[in-house]
Amino acid sequence: MTQEQDAIAPHGNVLVNRIATPAQQADLQAQAEHLPRIQLDERTTSDLELIAIGGFSPLTGFMDQADYEQVVQHMQLANGLPWSIPITLSVDEAIASPLKIGDLIRLDDPTGTFVGVIELTEKYPYDKTQEVIQVYQTDDLKHPGVQVVFEQGSVNLAGPIWLLERQPHPQFPKYQIDPAASRQLFRQRGWQTIVGFQTRNPIHRAHEYIQKCALETVDGLFLHPLVGATKSDDIPADVRMRCYEIMMEHYFPQERVILAINPAAMRYAGPREAIFHAIVRKNYGCTHFIVGRDHAGVGDYYGTYDAQHIFDTIDPQALGITPMKFEHAFYCKRTQSMATTKTSPSDPEDRIHLSGTKVREMLRRGELPPPEFSRPEVAAELAAAMKG
């Protein structure tokens, strides 16, 4: 089926594919031992993967200086297309210095495995403090995203990439549905409106409530939990995925919901990352994107609804995906159901508010989240995982 039959065009109108053909792969393997080599960390490896499969369309490689500076300062690429997070390959000066423009550079993953190449078109220094202040709104080293920037190299390498081979995900191969495949699935199901949902936390009743509210107004729901690098105290990806499998089996209409993984790493950039998450889901074929309370936030660095307000600063047509904004949901004791301040008649003391952070704290204390917060099967899965 043609691109025109998709519900929504990719960002920049072309779905990027930078996965090497068998012939290219053989050629790159033959050169591998003679190429200059860079070892990627977990986050940059997932960035390489997402560029290659089109999740970061229209990017075909790591950002050059013009794109980088426009993204940091103005939340757009050099061509004016909205983009909120720098996607860079940062190395130490000692590594960058001998590299020459035009070099083909071998990229290895954290285990030392050859996974791709970059065709070097530019190398440039950058201001780390300026980047973190603009992107994360803080230079506090306790912020996990800020910490990553200050620990990475001082020179950015730019250029188009090739992923050597699309490998099945080591943990979740059945849920590895790349953008071309998700778009095909949406077409097969006849979905014209699809809402994407992002989370790095186990699903709880508030998530379920806003997902189902959104599902009332669109053709399909794309549950897209992030399984790349997260903070050490976040619930592991395999546990979160088992919780989603439980929900799919017992609590969702399976013909109207697709569960897939997002291989990206978390930046914890709050409002800017909300925009970024929306663009990625647009590339996967979503027409709408759920933005809830403190989306992609961490600690107290961002206001409760800053991630919703930032969408009001961007031209909706240029962004091309519709945000669905939800207030913080809670369990209302009076109506004995999930609600928000828009729908609940109860007083504040009759509302049970729980967050992913509170649940993690309860589980560490050996307490089971109450049914008002979590479906019992999910609570049992989380408790068993914490004991294990």
d(CA 127, CA 208): 41
Let me know if 201 is a catalytic residue. yes
CA-to-CA distance for 126 and 350, rounded, in angstroms?
51
C-alpha span between 59 and 86 (Å, rounded): 11
For 388, the token pair is: 């294990």
Q: Which runs of E-coded beta strand occur in the chain?
A: 37-39, 61-62, 89-91, 104-108, 114-119, 122-125, 155-163, 194-197, 220-223, 257-259, 288-291, 322-325, 330-332, 337-339, 351-352
Is 13 assigned a catalytic role?
no
The one catalytic residue among 156, 201, 262, 283? 201
**Rg over CA atoms, the chain:** 21
What is the enclosing helix (H) or strand (E) of 241?
Answer: helix 237-250
- How many whole angstroms separate alpha carbon 354 and alpha carbon 205? 9
Residue 340 φ/ψ, nearest 5 degrees: -130, 180
Evaluate whether 201 touches 357 at the Cβ level (below 8 Å).
Answer: no
Single out the catalytic residue among 18, 106, 200, 205. Answer: 200
Which residues form the catalytic set? 200-201
